[in-house]
Amino acid sequence: MVDRLNATAQDLELLVRFRRDLHRIPELDYDLPQTKRYVRGVLESLSCEVFSPSASCICALFDVGNAHTVAIRADMDALPITEATGVSFASEHEGRMHACGHDAHMSMALATAVWVDALVRDCPGALPRNVLFVFQPAEETTGGAKRVCESGVFERYKVDRIFGFHVWPDLPWGTVASRPGALLARSSETHITIHGQSTHIAKTYGLHDEETHDAALAAARFLVSERWLMRRLQQDEPCVAQFGLVEAGTVCNAVAGEARLAGSLRVFSDEMFERAKAELTSTLEMACSETGCTYEIDFAEGYPPVTNDAELYAACESALPELTRIDDPLLIAEDFAFYQRYVPGVFFLLGVGEPEVDGSCGELGHATCALHGDTLMFDEHVLLRGISVYRQLLQMR
């Protein structure tokens, strides 16, 4: 008989093998030949239909004859980072690394698929819904989830809920956490070009600011003003705009003829997104008007906010006694948000950070750096908590 809830030593063996095999072969964006081959190889050994609804996406359907389907999502792509962990199963691909935990996400989904396969064989009727596993590309780049949604796969198989996990070094080891409503932010890369007029600085002596056509001055004024703008908007709703790239001019003794700024806007609602875009544009227009410059500004579509369905979250809270509620949403972005535009969904965070009390974190211990760090590593024991949660969710009515 298959253990219907509790993870076992056999589960840990699977998790370790899947995670370490996948960790060795990190790939980027949609270019995932080895990763897809590995995932497909595991799934095709099970009693499920394996197919690809969109570019570089692999799905596995366990059809148990029910009217509706529950989906579990895992992301497959890695990051263009050179690994510095020194572990025996480190990346074999120079300049690429699973530094965001997607190897762990895939491993939990694959181990859960193995469990579902055994359960439907040994306990027919144990699951109230069919189960669809979605292994998607391009979470780190262009939002591969959107293409999956647009393929029609959720409508075709009558998916009425979806769940996903992200490992989280900022939470204590083994914590399962989420919140109803907004959990993660909408992100929009923001690119600005300011056009001025380059001239020798001596010629600006005595001129009013609007006569200087100084692109660097316009950029500086904008950066100061937008900081005050954000503080005002934050009184109504959490949001942030920061510009990490600022370039202006070519030489030290000439007014900058052009300035470039690149940053990111993060908000938790579509309403604040539109408001922030309008007010940032107005702030930029004023800075350029005051310095005799012109501008171009572009807000990328980005990812929507991850917003957990309140009714489904309440059901999860009842089914998961270990679930911890996060007080405030986080300004991180995740393309799981696209799925929630199509079906109700709940996204969970799995703590891989330092334990709150002394305890074993396995041979590799807890995560000792943040996501996207070149030394990110943690032991697979924590993933047992993740697959136990998936088992409970799949049996939820």
Point out the catalytic residue in the list 11, 27, 75, 380.
Answer: 75
Q: Are 218 and 209 in contact (CB under 8 A)?
A: no
Work out the average pLDDT over 307-313: 98
**Domain ranges, ordered by start, for the chain:** 9-185+305-394, 186-299
Report the distance separating Cα 384 and Cα 380, nearest Å. Answer: 8
What does pLDDT average to over the chain? 96
* pLDDT category of residue 229 using cuts at 50, 70 and 90: very high
Q: Could you give the CA distance from residue 397 to residue 394 in angstroms, rounded to a whole number? A: 8
pLDDT (mean) for 97-107: 98
Given the residues 77, 140, 258, 334, the one annotated as active site:
140
- Confirm whether 160 is a catalytic residue: no
Question: Residues 273-293, buried b or exposed e (16+ Cβ, 10 A)?
Answer: bebbbebbeebbeebbebbbb
- The residue with tokens 């809920």 is 161
pLDDT value of position 332:
92
In tens, the pLDDT along 362-392 reads: 899 999 899 999 999 999 999 999 999 999 9
* Model confidence pLDDT, tens digit, residues 152-182: 999 999 999 999 999 999 999 999 999 999 9
Task: Enter the pTM of the model.
Answer: 0.93
CA 124, 125, 130, 132 torsion-angle sign: negative
Which CATH number describes the domain made up of 9-185+305-394?
A: 3.40.630.10
Residue 2 pLDDT class (50, 70, 90 cuts):
low
**Is pLDDT at 195 greater than 90 in this prediction?**
yes
Burial-class residue 50 by CB neighbours within 10 Å (0-12, 13-18, 19+): middle
Does the pLDDT at position 39 exceed 70?
A: yes
Helix and strand numbers (H, E) in the chain are 10, 14
For 241-286, write each residue's pLDDT tens digit.
999 999 999 999 999 999 999 999 999 998 999 999 999 999 999 9
pLDDT at 4: 67
User: What is the rounded CA–CA span in Å between residue 155 and residue 150?
Assistant: 10
Q: Known catalytic residue: 75?
A: yes
User: According to the CATH classification, is domain 186-299 in 3.20.20.150?
Assistant: no
Tokens found for residue 68: 């509706």
Q: Which helix (H) or strand (E) holds 276?
A: helix 270-289
